[in-house]
Each structure stands twice: as structure tokens, then as C-alpha cells.
Amino acid sequence: MPPAAMAPALSGDAASHTVAKARRAWTARFRAAGIDSPELDARLLVGHALGLDHAALAASATRILVASEESAIAALGNRRLAHEPVARIVGTKEFWSLNLRIDAATLVPRPETETVVEAALAAIDTCRGRARALRIADLGTGSGAILLALLSELHNAFGVGTDLSPQALAVAHDNTRRLGLTRAAYVACDMAAALHGPFDVIVSNPPYIGSDNIAALPPEVRLFDPRLALDGGADGLNSYRAIAAIAPGLLAANGVIVVEIGAGQAEAVAALLAGAGLAPSPPRPDLNNMPRALVAKKGS
């Protein structure tokens, strides 16, 4: 961490180091450092350091902190000043209302990836499929986010998640166990190399950043998300080429594949899937109105 980014424990008037004052002080530091959501981050980190949830933190506003608590808060605050995302500091991230554990081997699940879950559920709904014993594959499952979100909605479905990273799969497995979603299994392999199918639904949020564009990403991403989760090759499309090559052989008749796409990739990815004999629909936008999920169907 650069020395300039370090901040000491609160200084000055020792008698009034309350919880509320710590929150205000760290909010100000985060704001001065240009961090996007300074107030929220300060609340989450102070709460995490003290082991207090939102309500308990509010109720403790006037409590005086002891020195060890100030040090614990400062340790977390300094990590945030070094651009480590809050989710990595606290070790969990909420996705589709599921509390997921993450670690250094897993991407932090993004809110926009919920668009993939929505698109998959919408595609399943068009054939009244929610009650069916659907077979789902999640290629590049990371923390298990997409697969676990789907299994939480589809009570008779079974899923398998793959990843090149055994460490990520250990996290996915742990999330599965903690959430009690026992209908998921995991296998370490290159995309779907160890899978046979047929699958009714294939989902994937593959690495899709062009290799040369990674250096320009915000530090929260480029310094902390695993490169394996980001790097999509020279043009960002390598994973989609691999997926297009294998998806038709893995999908059941009338099966669907749903992939997350990055900015400007919708046409190229749709062309890859269409070139493999699948029928892509127009992309589904995320909450920022960016094309985010592409659904393609296999014929009967």
C-alpha cells in the first residue's frame, strides 16, 4: 500500500471517539480519496470491524470506541483506501438476495450479472418450465453466483458448475452447502470439457475483457479480481468462441444458452452463436440499459 494512502487510527479528541464519529471520519477519508460510495463503505466497514449489523450500528452511535476497536476499523479502512473492494474486505457479497462468500480466487459477483439470471428465468417461463427437473450447466461458475441464484428459484432443477480454478470451486461448494442448495455439483475443467449433457439451460458469465483493456480498468477490478476471471483474450471473445463450439452439442432439444456480454459485444457474440446453429434473441439490458445478457435457443 502506498504510504500516502495509509490513514492512522482516529486522532485528536480521544474522549469522543464514538461509533458515529468513526463513521463520519472514514466517510470523509473515503470521499477525499475519490471512493464512489464513501458513506456506505464507511458504514459497512465500521460495522464489520465491530461485528455489528446495520441496526446495531445505528443503535451504538454514541458508544465510545476502545483502542483495539479503532485499530480494527483503521486496518479495514486502510485496505479500502488502497482500493480493495468492500466485498473482498468483508469476504461476502449479496447476489440475487443470496449471501455469497468470496475469496481471492473468485470474481465479486456483480449486480448486472443478475440480468443473466432474469433472462434465464424468462426463457424458462416461456415454456412453463419452472417446475421441471431442469438440467443446468454454469460455465465459469466462480463463487457459484448464477447457478445458485437459479437453483434458489427452480426447486426441481439440478446444476453443475465448472471452473478452471479449483480454489473458486471450493468457494462455490461452500456457498452451496451454506445455502442448503444441495442440487448443485462442481467440476474443475476447461469450460464444459468434463460435461456430457444434455442440458436444458446453459449459463455463463465468462471472462470477456480484451487483454489490453485490463490495465485501464478501475483499481478495484484490475488489482483485486482474478485475471482468469477477466481476460477474454485479444478481442475479449475467446470464451464465446469456445462456448459457441460446444453449446450445440451440450444443449437438449429446445434448450437455451444465456451468456453475459460486455460493452459492444452483443453483435459479435450473437453472430458466433448463430454461426453455431443457435437462434439468438435481442440482448436483455441491465439496470443501466446496457445490453447485458444474450439468450440463444437450440431448435427441436
Ligand X SMILES: C[S@@+](CC[C@H](N)C(=O)[O-])C[C@H]1O[C@@H](n2cnc3c(N)ncnc32)[C@H](O)[C@@H]1O
Q: Please check whether residue 256 is in contact with residue 123, taking contact to mean a CB–CB distance below 8 angstroms.
A: yes
Q: Please check whether residue 128 is in contact with residue 151, taking contact to mean a CB–CB distance below 8 angstroms.
A: no
- Window contacting ligand X (CB under 6 A); options: 27-35, 45-53, 72-80, 157-165: 157-165
Q: Which is nearer to ligand X, 142 or 236 (CB)?
A: 142
Least distance (Å) from ligand X to the CB of residue 245?
12
| Using rule CB under 6 A, residue 159 touches ligand X | no
| Using rule CB under 6 A, residue 283 touches ligand X | no
Cα angle for residues 94, 96, 97 (degrees, 5° grid): 60
| Using rule CB under 6 A, residue 141 touches ligand X | yes
| Using rule CB under 6 A, residue 146 touches ligand X | yes
| Using rule CB under 6 A, residue 232 touches ligand X | no
| Using rule CB under 6 A, residue 228 touches ligand X | yes
| Using rule CB under 6 A, residue 107 touches ligand X | yes
| Using rule CB under 6 A, residue 102 touches ligand X | no
- Window contacting ligand X (CB under 6 A); options: 23-31, 50-58, 140-148, 280-288: 140-148
| Using rule CB under 6 A, residue 190 touches ligand X | yes
Cell of 269: 457474440
| Using rule CB under 6 A, residue 113 touches ligand X | yes
Among 41, 70, 163, 220, which residue sits at the site for ligand X (rule: CB under 6 A)?
163
Q: Which of residues 24-83 bind ligand X (CB under 6 A)?
A: none
Among 124, 191, 256, 273, which residue sits at the site for ligand X (rule: CB under 6 A)?
191
Q: What is the residue type of 15?
A: A
Backbone angles phi, psi at 147, to 5 degrees: -60, -45
Among 81, 89, 229, 276, which residue sits at the site for ligand X (rule: CB under 6 A)?
229
Among 205, 294, 295, 298, which residue sits at the site for ligand X (rule: CB under 6 A)?
205
Q: Which is nearer to ligand X, 5 or 188 (CB)?
A: 188
Least distance (Å) from ligand X to the CB of residue 275?
20
Among 207, 255, 280, 291, which residue sits at the site for ligand X (rule: CB under 6 A)?
207
Q: Which is nearer to ligand X, 109 or 255 (CB)?
A: 109
Q: Please check whether residue 297 is in contact with residue 270, taking contact to mean a CB–CB distance below 8 angstroms.
A: no
| Using rule CB under 6 A, residue 210 touches ligand X | no
| Using rule CB under 6 A, residue 148 touches ligand X | no
Binding residues vs ligand X (CB under 6 A): 107, 109, 113, 140-143, 145-146, 162-165, 168, 190-191, 205-207, 228-229
